[in-house]
Amino acid sequence: MNSNDVLFDAKSIRAKHSDELSRIERYRRLANYLAVAQIYLRDNVLLKKPLGFDDVKERLLGHWGTCPGINMVYAHLNGLICRHNVNMFLVTGPGHGAPANLANLYLEGSLKEFYPELSLDKDGLTDFIKRFSTPNGFPSHLYPGTPGAIHEGGELGYALATSFGAVMDNPDLVVACIVGDGEAETGPTAAAWHSYKFIDPKESGAVLPVLHLNGYKISSPTIFGTMSDNELVDLFGGYGYNPRIVQDSDLDADLYGAMEWAYSEIRRIQDASRNGKRIIAPRWPVIIFKSPKGMSGIKEMDGEPVEGTHRSHQVPNKDAKTNKTSLKLLEDWLRSYNPDELFDKDGAPKPEILEICPKGILRMGLNPHTFGHNMWKPLNLPDIYHYEFKLNSNRGTVFASPMEELGKYLAGVVKNNLQTFRIFSPDELESNKLHGVFKETARNFQWPLKEYDSYIGAEGGRVIEILSEHTCQAFLQGYILTGRHGIFPSYEAFLGVITTMMDQFGKFIKFSRQFPWRGPVASLNYLETSTLWRQEHNGFSHQNPSFINSVLDQQADNARIYFPPDANCLISTVDHCLRSRGYVNLVVANKNPQPQWLSMNEAIEHCRAGASIWRWASTDDGLDPDITIAGIGDVPTIEVLACARILKEDIPELRLRVVNINDLMVLEEHSSHPHGLAESWFNALFTPDKPVIFNFHGYPSAVKQLLFGRPNIHRFIVNGYLEEGSTTTPFDMLIRNQISRYHLATQALKYVSRSNLKVAAKANELANAYHHKLEEIQTYIMKYADDPDEIINWKW
């Protein structure tokens, strides 16, 4: 095709490419027929006899309105792939457009590769159509059982950023992304339009966004659908794109030309960068595709227009199973596609119609990148012993920032894996003390910068920083699901922004296990830091550990939650998470300097066990304790150890065992979680019948939830965050939430007094002393706006 053709109008394109356009039109007529049939029919799928009530499904589910637009885009993408041998797949944003995607996957033969029974004949066709929205069949949105899908369609807003994540470090890949105009109203999509500013055309592929404007959501017009052409051009021009609106009366010809133009622009930008002539602030193409909602469907029903309105959004005539008039409308609708022209006598789509489908792995449903487990390769991880934080002879007397030490390790990960590992972070990497990674990399940003901007540039940066948790999450999902690795560090209080996205990913990996052709990809790794216990300066708004509970609610096969108590445990835990596949891993750790407890050898053993008795902190190595106090989280663990020191000095008659828990899931019964401790091991750690105080980082409900099935549950006391906080000092936060060393010591006296008479004799006197000590400390805090030296400089 002559490159000048991209400048021609639809009429000229029609004249020059009429044969190809006719094949595309016939193909999408077939795809539309299959989309309608999936929603409505259970039998008589070729209409060889008049349609009857028995031919209609009992439950009519699905979304028709978006399907014809998706089918048109899919058909023209097929044409583009065939003409230029493009390595491409499609991410479909409109949540419930699965009938269209499935129709195309069936026609191109991708479905048959994984569902051999869905053959291109009458039996296979009938089976295919009957499966839609039925138990154990295909749902109305995309999911892991859909070949070529890396995006769960159940929640809107993330298709575009997921697409950009997929093309990072995949220089030969083009991801087409259909963004529905309803989805375009979401905040995540609004931020995601900036994603191309993080795409280096030299090292990464390209995204071709297609904004599908059909004008309506479920029951009202869309914002974008009501905007004028000038407003749309101004908006996307302001974003930095080069927009082209497709709306000619000859939509096929107009879209054909737009696809050619867009691909030529992509290649122009990439070729310039790859030939050493980088274009500063390139204007990437975006296609704004305007089509009537539900086009080719029912025009009018009950005196109301349907095509081109919100009434076509879902199932236009839902009573076709019981109403003769609706049934007649459905039959007329289906016959309007002239099925006799589409299928041969054996019920197979006519071969000449399928000629526009790409072959082999060029089919979008078989693109290798959409099967990330096949693309996955293990990271070349550095030896964690090179990053050991060395203790002196007295543990707990040397301070370090766990996150700062982890940053040095992550720099080694980056150095060894320059094309397969990225860090996706809101604008918090340096705030979270991970600046050590800048020894080996920088932030990736493609737009013009000031000469004094540091650690940021257009080439080679492995860090993506954008102040949008949604976009970071979607980038990471697209990157992981196409076979690579990454980590998402964030302030604890704001990870909750992407809770539903994490849920969607958890569902995706859960369902993926049902399909042998969907192997595990790298785990989704969260690093939750700037935690509530050290957010006293930012105040109450920055104190929220609820993301822990959200991950905890994931199915046991998915969720892993870790609370490393010091730097070496943090490095060991993250190293483990980066080696893992198929999980949602949450690691919670602080960034502030704090005492360090374990050598690297000890940390590895502790993390491998998930929880262990810290004999050196216990009475008589923890043998025969009156009570166990367990720390879960670095700050709560410091208080546990400070409590242990207080009790050892003040009341040596009290026998104490100190336990630290790195893997939260050990608390759950083994039958409920693979990391859960069997009853015998649980009792070995916590005794069968003595009281246990848990000093927990987050909401007490999380630990209580895990302990629920354990025997003698009444013996467990759980401390944690009680939603008490303000702009105050770190120790005052502990006091307000009743997890301080003095609260723990008082609790221990209370519960041990019931069984140890020697302790009972001193308990009241000591409890009063601890109460007065807390009052004294709070008076100091109110006077000096700081914690006393005995707290700030406390060492083991």
By CB atoms closer than 10 A (0-12, 13-18, 19+), residue 677 is buried
Integer Cα distance of 371 and 763 in angstroms: 63
Report if residue 198 sits inside a domain: yes
Integer Cα distance of 442 and 451 in angstroms: 15
Does 238 lie in the same domain as 199?
yes
Mind listing the pLDDT tens digit for each residue in 217-253? 988 999 999 999 999 999 999 999 999 999 999 999 9
Among 134, 133, 137, 117, residue whose Cα is nearest residue 125:
117
397-424 exposure pattern, b = at least 16 Cβ within 10 A, e = fewer: eeebbbbbbbbbbbbbbbbebeebbbbb
Residue 5 pLDDT greater than 70, yes or no: no
Cβ contact 322:244 at 8 Å: no
Report if residue 600 sits inside a domain: no
Q: Identify the residue whose tokens are 């207080």.
A: 646
For 555, residues 6+ apart whose C-beta sits below 8 A from its C-beta are 506, 510
Does 382 lie in the same domain as 366?
no
Q: Can you tell me the mean pLDDT for 565-587?
A: 98
Least confident stretch, 1-15, 103-117, 572-586, 732-746: 1-15
Bridge partners of residue 209, in order along the sequence:
177
Bridge partners of residue 486, in order along the sequence:
422
The single-letter DSSP state of residue 496 is G
**Average pLDDT, whole number, for the chain?**
95
Residue 325, Cβ neighbours under 10 Å: how many?
Answer: 12
User: How many degrees, rounded to 5, is the angle at CA 217 between CA 213 and CA 223?
Assistant: 60
Mind listing the pLDDT tens digit for each residue in 167-184? 999 999 999 999 999 999
Integer Cα distance of 321 and 299 in angstroms: 20
Cβ contact 632:694 at 8 Å: yes
Torsion of CA 35, 38, 44, 46, to 10 degrees: 20
The single-letter DSSP state of residue 279 is P
Identify the three-state secondary structure at position 692.
Answer: strand
Does 756 lie in the same domain as 690?
yes
Does 778 lie in the same domain as 703?
yes
Mind listing the pLDDT tens digit for each residue in 773-790? 999 999 999 999 999 999
Does 439 lie in the same domain as 536?
yes
Q: What is the pLDDT of residue 126?
A: 96
Among 684, 689, 667, 682, residue whose Cα is nearest residue 623:
684
* Residue 576, domain CATH: 3.40.50.970
Q: What is the pLDDT of residue 7?
A: 55
The three state secondary structure string of 584-637 is EEEEECCCCCEECCCCHHHHHHHHHHCEEECHHHCHHHHCCCCEEEEEECHHHH
Report if residue 308 sits inside a domain: no
Does 760 lie in the same domain as 643?
yes
355-375 exposure pattern, b = at least 16 Cβ within 10 A, e = fewer: ebbbeeebbbbbbebbbbbeb
Does 623 lie in the same domain as 575?
no
In the chain, the N- to C-terminal Cα span, in Å, equals 76
Residue 1 pLDDT greater than 50, yes or no: no
Among 727, 725, 708, residue whose Cα is nearest residue 716:
708
Identify the three-state secondary structure at position 330.
Answer: helix
* Res. 536 pLDDT band, cuts 50 70 90: low
Cβ contact 224:211 at 8 Å: yes
Integer Cα distance of 739 and 75 in angstroms: 62
Q: Can you tell me the mean pLDDT for 197-210?
A: 98
Cβ contact 698:545 at 8 Å: yes
Report if residue 740 sits inside a domain: yes
Integer Cα distance of 626 and 227 in angstroms: 72
By CB atoms closer than 10 A (0-12, 13-18, 19+), residue 506 is buried
* Residue 723, domain CATH: 3.40.50.920
Domain coverage including residue 588 = 375-594
Residue 86 pLDDT greater than 90, yes or no: yes
Integer Cα distance of 235 and 88 in angstroms: 27
Integer Cα distance of 689 and 711 in angstroms: 9
* Res. 703 pLDDT band, cuts 50 70 90: very high
* Pairing outcome for strands 399-400 and 594-595: antiparallel
Residue 2 pLDDT greater than 50, yes or no: no
Does 356 lie in the same domain as 260?
yes
* Res. 556 pLDDT band, cuts 50 70 90: confident
Report if residue 602 sits inside a domain: no
Bridge partners of residue 210, in order along the sequence:
178, 287
The single-letter DSSP state of residue 43 is S
Residue 390, Cβ neighbours under 10 Å: how many?
Answer: 10
Report if residue 738 sits inside a domain: yes
DSSP letter for each residue of 447-459: S---TT--SEESS
Mind listing the pLDDT tens digit for each residue in 379-411? 999 999 999 999 988 899 999 999 999 999 999
Locate 331 and state its tokens. 């039959």
Q: Provide the CA 760 distance to its chain's centre, in angstroms.
A: 52
Report if residue 675 sits inside a domain: yes
Q: Identify the residue whose tokens are 């097929």.
A: 78
Among 47, 90, 46, 45, residue whose Cα is nearest residue 71:
90
Integer Cα distance of 159 and 653 in angstroms: 62
Bridge partners of residue 669, in order along the sequence:
677
Q: Can you tell me the mean pLDDT for 607-632?
A: 97
780: phi then psi, degrees, rounded to nearest 5: -60, -45
CA gyration radius for the chain? 31
The last residue of a domain, from among 594, 626, 650? 594
Distance set, CA 690 to CA 321, 611, 716, 744, 751 (Å): 65, 18, 9, 16, 9
Does 671 lie in the same domain as 572?
no
Integer Cα distance of 50 and 486 in angstroms: 56
Q: How many domains does the chain have?
A: 3
Q: Identify the residue whose tokens are 């708004």.
A: 541
Residue 99, Cβ neighbours under 10 Å: how many?
Answer: 28
The single-letter DSSP state of residue 476 is H
Does 381 lie in the same domain as 360?
no
Query: What is the CB-side half-sphere exposure of residue 373 using CA atoms within 13 A?
Result: 15
Does 235 lie in the same domain as 195?
yes
Mind listing the pLDDT tens digit for each residue in 49-80? 999 999 999 999 989 999 999 999 999 999 99
In terms of DSSP H, where are the helices of 446-566?
469-481, 499-512, 546-552
109-142 exposure pattern, b = at least 16 Cβ within 10 A, e = fewer: bbbbebbeebbbebebbbebbbbbbeeeebbbbb
Cβ contact 303:247 at 8 Å: no
Mind listing the pLDDT tens digit for each residue in 250-304? 999 999 999 999 999 999 999 999 999 999 999 999 999 999 999 999 999 999 9
Locate 645 and state its tokens. 């020191």
By CB atoms closer than 10 A (0-12, 13-18, 19+), residue 442 is middle
Integer Cα distance of 108 and 749 in angstroms: 72
Residue 520, Cβ neighbours under 10 Å: how many?
Answer: 15
Identify the three-state secondary structure at position 272.
Answer: helix
Q: What is the pLDDT of residue 392?
A: 87
Report if residue 191 sits inside a domain: yes
Does 415 lie in the same domain as 286?
no
Distance set, CA 283 to CA 8, 77, 236, 262, 269 (Å): 20, 21, 10, 11, 9
The maximal CA–CA distance of the chain, rounded, in angstroms, is 101
Q: What is the pLDDT of residue 542?
A: 84
E strand spans, 126-241: 174-180, 206-213
Residue 369 pLDDT greater than 90, yes or no: yes
Residue 540, Cβ neighbours under 10 Å: how many?
Answer: 16
For 724, residues 6+ apart whose C-beta sits below 8 A from its C-beta are 733, 736, 737
